Structure 1
Amino acid sequence: MNGADVAWRIIRSLTDFWTGRSVALLLPGLDGGARGVIEDLERHGATVSVVVTATRPAADAPRVPHVWDCSAHGGPLSRRQFERWVHDPGPEVAAWLDDVDPARELVVLGNQYASITAFCGRTAHGRRRPEWGQWEDKVRVERLWRATGVASPDHVVGPPGDSALRAAAAHLFGEWGVVVARDSSRGFWGGSRGLTWVRHPADLNTCLDGLRDLADRVRIAGFVPGVPCSVIGLVLRDGVAVFDPIEIVTLCDPERSELLFCGTSTWWRPDDGIARDIREAARRAGERLAAVVGFRGMFSVDGIVSGGRFLATELNPRLSGGLGLAEAWPELSENLLHRGAQEALPGVHDADPQLIEEAVRSAIRRVPSLDVVVPLPGGDVVELPHVRPRAGDGLVAPAVVAAVTARTLVSAAVEPVPPAVC
């Protein structure tokens, strides 16, 4: 059996599980972005008949027969409020759901952060265990890097109000300043949220004073020039599959001291040695998560390639974007693959990790893709679907810089994360 055979066996197992099932989605927002998961479920034989959403559905939202809109029942909820609310939604929504689904046959599917086992008496599929989620903490994860021998940027950790921390951070300032990350004591901060770029030592106290009520601890790390990147892995029963590194397209706006996360690209081709080091770091992290907290499913390790080294910065023990599987192999849903691994679904959880790694890496290399959206001041965004990767290493950030400066979309000073010898 080769990698493609294993992948098609997974697809058949997912189809066997979902065929004929009616699904209720729990979504912080119902918009065009929900179309992908609905199409995935329908492709595998399920029907999405119910959506429970925190806010009013958007104009481009896919049509679903039954929608509970929290904004029409006491007001819209933030993502974090919604995640708490689904644990105890109350009798009104339970009664409504019983009218819609009197036999209680719905299978409930939450987002990648959902940790519930049931919703209004109906089984929830693919939940994230709380002990898994704690490793998304941008400060706590340093313990995992130390335990696995994975390098991370030079840093100090402590309470934001600690004068000793502020003094210890002084040596970390270089030409590009430092990056301050808050912990998850007041809620999780995925991706670039929870990060602050501080360019000058005189501004550090102001930054830390502003974080006193937002975090118990912070990590202050020297700004590392290089290529921001990520790598996605999949923990299965018999080991960890690790796919190819992905460019995280990130721009710097020095005028505003902002880091602009613009999307991801699978066109990047780092040197073989660097790619091997990135993938090895992810494999160690996945093995550690499995051994310590019984983790299953997809995860990602983010970091920077700088000076010929990979330095890990954070871990996302959940489904993350950027793999490019939807474009390369739409029949193999990474969302449902992740949920199947979480639930130890036969035919998924017991798949050969080396062979699925081989199949996915080959498919994405055949059909590389990118998803680039530049955030603008004021909350608007602009899509750049036609940017092209640089010849040779395949990096996309330089082309994005050229596009945004040509249109004066952000500011004349916008630039990629400053390059290093990679």
Structure 2
Amino acid sequence: MFGDRLVVLAGGTRLSSRVQELHQLGARHALVLSTDDHAPLHDSEVARWVPLGIGGGFVATEQNRLTRMLTSPDRRVRELLDEFDPAGRALVISTPYAQVPEFAGRPVLNARRPEWVDLENKTTIDALWDELSAPRAPAEVLGLDLDGLWEATLRLDRGAGVVWSGDGPAINGGANFVRRVRDREEAADAFRVLAAKCEFVRVMPFLEGIPVSVHGIVFPDGTAVLRPVEMVVPRRRGSARFLYAGCASYYDPPARIREEMRNLARRVGERLRETVGYRGTFTLDGIATADGFLPTEINTRYGGAMVCFEDALPQLPLALAQVALVAGHDLGVSSREFEELLVAAADAYRHGSVGANVRAVHPTEVVERPVVFTEWACRFAHPEEVPQGTLRLRPSPLGARLELDLVADQLPFGRPAAPLTVAAFALADREWGTALGPLEPAVPIPDDTPIAPVVELDAVTA
């Protein structure tokens, strides 16, 4: 597919990895039009790297700018394309959100069809669960009517409040348009945010449990279903907002919930293939509750949590396999073989991509420190200690990016990463002034046990 071809990478994540993978697959040369302002060190014989200067910090802002560039490239971009690919035959790969089918006459291989994008709407997805006879929490969808939303809140509240999820024309992700509502004041605050960006709001009881996601990959012959991944979503204490802090594969749901998730994902994948001709990766999100797995949404794209699988099997160019599937190419492997390969690798190798945007500080250089954990706290590691993670603060267009890298072989398998994230971010607030505020992790369901201490503090240190 890529052998001896020119390839344009327009935006996206982990571009350095994509460039190397394309080179290993025989691509002649790559032009990287990056939303990042800083080009990394790279081999000019392999790729030309051009920062576009349109990075916006928020995914939605950056993606909207990138879409405008793909749809109506300016003179500078057209000259770059003509110089790189005068024959106009290059292949184009854009971000997982891409909906533009061509870029200056060149095909965008991973462009999503409109009917695929429509399935991400949180206010219409319940129809799919009902078609599949899947257990789900009760929910109501309403327009932008505060009194009507409050009445629905009173009807659906089981004692822990409800969750309002807005959807509409704006890109929705990272818990941007999700609010927990427990009283009339929180309802009014949530309404002010959602009314400015959304067309409809879904009201659902707040579900206690671990936020989880499972990926399916739709092939022509079936759906490969992967292992569950924890969505690291701490709650802001005293606030209606959630903090989306990434994903991690350390957590193992109880076996019954793992199978519920994977079975439903397979049925979803087959339904998408039958009804809208879907190909490639999708995510099925929900909550692992005491009543089992309850779904909340799907994302019909290559999700950020796929990093857990990319790193578990780095010799497989997984993101490019996604591009090939979306473009209608045959990978030469069955969905079952692909599934067995990835699930075995990801069960054996655990990984996380945990971080949060920070506005309170504006560092000019990267600072990082090794850390260790107890059940209840995180601290910087002493020089003689084996670290269990690294806490990092780096410059970002929004101010800073706080990141936590966990060391898999220093942590027990099976436990959620959210409590560790909460402890590490509290340390960053104290030591670096990141001002994320008090956070709380999701409460494990009864099958789980609290996180056991992974390092003992002596009495003096404690």
Q: Give the TM-score normalised by structure 2.
A: 0.78
Rounded to whole Å, the distance in 2 between the matches of 1:152 and 1:223 is 12
Partner of 1:212: 195
In the other structure, the counterpart of 2:124 is: 140
What's the offset of the Cα at 1:105? 2.9
What is the match of residue 302 of structure 1?
A: 285
What secondary structure sits across from 1:291 in the alignment? helix
Question: Contact between 1:226 and 1:421, CA under 8 Å: does it hold in 2?
Answer: no
Shift of 1:404: 2.8
User: Does the 8 Å contact 2:234/2:244 carry over to 1?
Assistant: yes
Structure 1 residue 222, shift from structure 2 partner = 1.7
- In structure 1, distance between residues paired with 2:282 and 2:265: 9
1:240 to 218, 223, 246: 223
For 1:261, the equivalent position in structure 2 comes to 244
Report what 1:292 is aligned to. Answer: 275
Partners of 2:63 and 2:97 within 8 A in 1: no
The residue number in structure 1 matching 2:419 is 398
Contact map agreement 2:253 2:288 (CA 8 A) in 1: no
Structure 2 contact 39–51 (Cα < 8 Å) conserved: no
Q: Does 1:373 align with 2:355?
A: yes
CA distance in 2, matches of 1:201, 1:311: 26
* 1:249-307 deviation digits (Å, cap 9, x = unpaired): 12111134331122212222222111000111111111111111110001110110011
- Counterpart of 2:145, as a letter, is G
Partner deviation per Cα, 1:53-105 (whole Å, 9 max, x = no partner):
4x562264757426373669xxxx74213214412325663344223321223
The gaps in structure 2 that reach 5 residues or longer are 56-60, 361-398, 448-462
- Equivalent position SS for 2:232: strand
Q: Does 1:330 align with 2:314?
A: yes
Percent identity over the alignment? 28
- Tell whether 2:32 aligns with 1:51: yes
Is 1:158 paired with 2:142? yes
Matched position secondary structure for 1:154 = coil
The DSSP-based 3-state class of the residue aligned with 2:136 is: coil
Distance 2:93 2:7 in 1: 7
In the aligned structure 1, how far is the partner of 2:413 from the partner of 2:92?
45
Question: Which runs of no fewer than 5 residues in structure 1 stay unpaired?
Answer: 1-16
For 2:30 and 2:401, how far apart are their aligned partners in 1? 31
Question: Is this contact kept in 1: 2:119–2:299, CA < 8 A?
Answer: yes
Aligned length: 395
Q: Which of 108, 113, 118 does residue 102 from structure 2 map onto?
A: 118
Query: Which one-letter code corresponds to 2:105 in the other structure?
Result: G
| Other structure's SS at 1:380 match | strand
Q: Give the CA deviation at 1:216.
A: 1.5
Contact 1:131 1:293 survives alignment (8 Å): yes
Whole-Å Cα distance in 2 between the matches of residues 194 and 85 of structure 1? 26
Rounded Cα–Cα distance in structure 2 between residues aligned with 1:257 and 1:48: 48
> Would the alpha carbon gap of residues 130 and 362 (structure 1) be closer, same or farther in structure 2, given more than 3 Å must change?
same
2:303 corresponds in structure 1 to 320
Q: Which has the higher contact order (CA 8 A, sep 6+)?
A: 1
1:418 and 2:443 are equivalent in the alignment? yes
Give the ranges of 4+ consecutive aligned residues of structure 1 lying more than 6 Å apart after TM superposition. Answer: none
SS in 1 for 2:197: coil
Instruction: State the secondary structure of the residue aligned to 2:325.
Output: helix
Return the offset for 1:372: 1.7
Matched, 1:249 2:232: yes
Match of 2:99, as an amino acid? S
Q: TM-score, normalised by structure 1?
A: 0.85
In the TM superposition, what are the counterparts of 1:344-383 in structure 2 within 5 Å? 344-348=328-332, 351-376=333-358, 378=360, 379-383=399-403
- Over the aligned positions, Cα root-mean-square deviation in angstroms equals 2.7
The one-character-per-residue Cα deviations of 1:12-71 (angstroms, maximum 9, x if unpaired) are xxxxx212222111116xxx8422222222232225532334x56226475742637366
The alignment partner of 1:311 has SS state of strand
Native 8 Å contact 1:387 1:400 kept in 2: no
Match of 1:99?
83
The structure-2 alpha-carbon separation of the partners of 1:387 and 1:160, relative to structure 1 and needing over 3 Å to count, comes to farther
Letter in structure 2 aligned against 1:381: R
CA contact (8 A) 1:390 1:398 kept: no
Of residues 156, 167, 170, the one that matches 2:151 is 167
Q: 2:54–2:62: 8 Å Cα contact kept in structure 1?
A: no
Displacement of 1:387 in angstroms is 5.8
Q: Deviations over 1:359-398 (max 9, x none)?
A: 1111111222122224445353322213668646332222
Q: What secondary structure, in the 3-state scheme, does the structure 2 residue paired with 1:385 have?
A: strand
Q: Report the CA distance between 1:168 and its aligned residue.
A: 1.9
Give the direction of change, closer, same or farther, for the CA distance of 1:390–1:143 in structure 2 (3 Å limit).
Answer: farther
Decide whether the 8 Å contact of 2:250 with 2:413 is kept in 1.
no
Residues 19-58 of structure 1: pairs in structure 2 closer than 5 A: 19-27=3-11, 33-53=14-34, 55=35, 57-58=37-38
SS of match in other structure, 1:335:
helix
Change in Cα spacing, 1:329 to 1:136, as seen in structure 2 (3 Å) is same
- Following superposition, the deviation at residue 331 of structure 1 comes to 1.7
Is 2:409 the partner of 1:384? Answer: no
